[in-house]
Amino acid sequence: MENLLHKKLEISSSLRLNSFALTVEHKKMLELDEIACGGGAVTVGGEGELKWQNELNESNKDFFKYSDGIFLNYNWTDETLQKSLQNAGVRKHDVYVGVDVFGRGCFGGGGFNCDLAMEKVRKFDLSAAIFGHGWTHETKQETESFHERELLFWSKLKPYLYTNVLVVDKTLNTTFNNGYGKFQYENGRKVENAVHYNLSKQSIQTNSTHEFEYEDGFNGTGCLKLRQSEQNKDHILLLTHVKVQKEFKLTIATKCSTTYDYSISVLYESEGPQEQKHKFILKKEEKTNDNELQDFSSTIIYEPEYSNASHKQHKKLIWFKDTWDVRVFNICPKYKGFVTQIRMTFASETLDLLLGELKIVTDV
């Protein structure tokens, strides 16, 4: 069978088995009657007996050998995970262990306890395939919020998920929009009162799990909401790989209901003689003594009306409260290198901050 697979794969160069499953069409093209694999299932022999597979074993190892990976069923045990780990060898991360959000015999019972199953899978250093994550919407009650359920579900899984680094050549720009909302905003003003749903309009999302605010926004259908607490004062926004030759500008648009009490940290890895790591701290209220950092400008885009406030109070409210504030920073490292991380840190224990836009432009 191995010779047959090699021969047919060489002839059909356009066929690449990277979808983790041999479909019926693939089966016909390969002229194989013995094997037809799908996520967690295998058909063995001429009778076509269907058996759900909870481990990598003799019944599916040939499929695994000639594909990029395999999805296992979700009724596994510690014993079957150990067998899969041993049989996979150096390809252990190509084994995707099924985690069923609807439960159905999965360890932990599914739902908001899926983190228990993910923790178990990670202990064996295997990958995971999450089945049925539409559960957060399909089982919600009328009084429940889908967005809150989504946030809770994925925030519990976050410690067991890998984060992709965003590779950017010259410009990184995001308004954090998720592609739908009740209003449309431009430069901090509400310009359209109509429901929007267009997932192609999604912006780059953060590497952390945060709420999304639909009742306010800078550009698009809303903005990010960072909730501050005593336990959570540090927010990683983006893990990046933005190449810098000489300098870069960082623009950030924020709105806060209280005084601004935060700093922005930009981690930078230089390609100098010692390949050093640097941390630029950009503060809202005061400038740093670092000669490599200049605060270019601060521009208020939208000024809300306060009819009962005096002129002096009005100015104070505009600067500190309920207005979009756009800050532009110019950073000139000594050596060329890469921006690797952007995060926000709060000094206050109770602070809600809206984040409407974040942009990095290099070598302008």
Which pLDDT does position 302 carry in this prediction? 31
Query: 121-153: b or e for each residue (b if 16 or more CB lie within 10 Å)?
Result: beebebbbbbbbbebbeeeeeeeeeeeebbbeb
CA distances from 247 to 170, 238, 251 (A): 11, 19, 14
Phi-psi region at 237: left, alpha or beta (left = phi > 0; alpha = psi -120 to 50): alpha
User: Per-residue pLDDT for 320 more than 70?
Assistant: no
Domains belonging to the chain, first-starting first, are 37-160 (no CATH), 166-304+317-362 (2.60.120.260)
pTM of the model: 0.69
* The two three-digit tokens of residue 232, written as one number: 């959570």
pLDDT in tens, 86-102: 999 999 999 999 999 99
The pLDDT score that the predictor gives to residue 88 is: 95
The structure tokens listed for 94 are: 């190509």
Residue 230 structure tokens: 């005593």
Of 63 and 128, which is predicted with more confidence?
A: 128
The pLDDT tens digits of the residues spanning 323-359 come to 788 888 888 887 888 999 998 887 766 567 899 999 9
Alpha-carbon span 223 to 137, nearest angstrom: 22
Chain segment 27-70, per-residue pLDDT in tens: 444 444 443 344 555 555 556 677 788 999 988 888 888 888 89
The larger pLDDT score, comparing residue 19 to residue 241, is at 241
70 sits in which H/E element: strand 70-71
pLDDT at 210 over 70: yes
Stronger pLDDT, 23 or 117, i.e. the higher one: 117
| Whether 44 contacts 52, CB under 8 Å | no
Predicted confidence at residue 10, as pLDDT, reads: 34
**Looking at the predicted structure, is the pLDDT value of residue 300 above 90?**
no
Q: Which residue has better confidence, 168 or 17?
A: 168
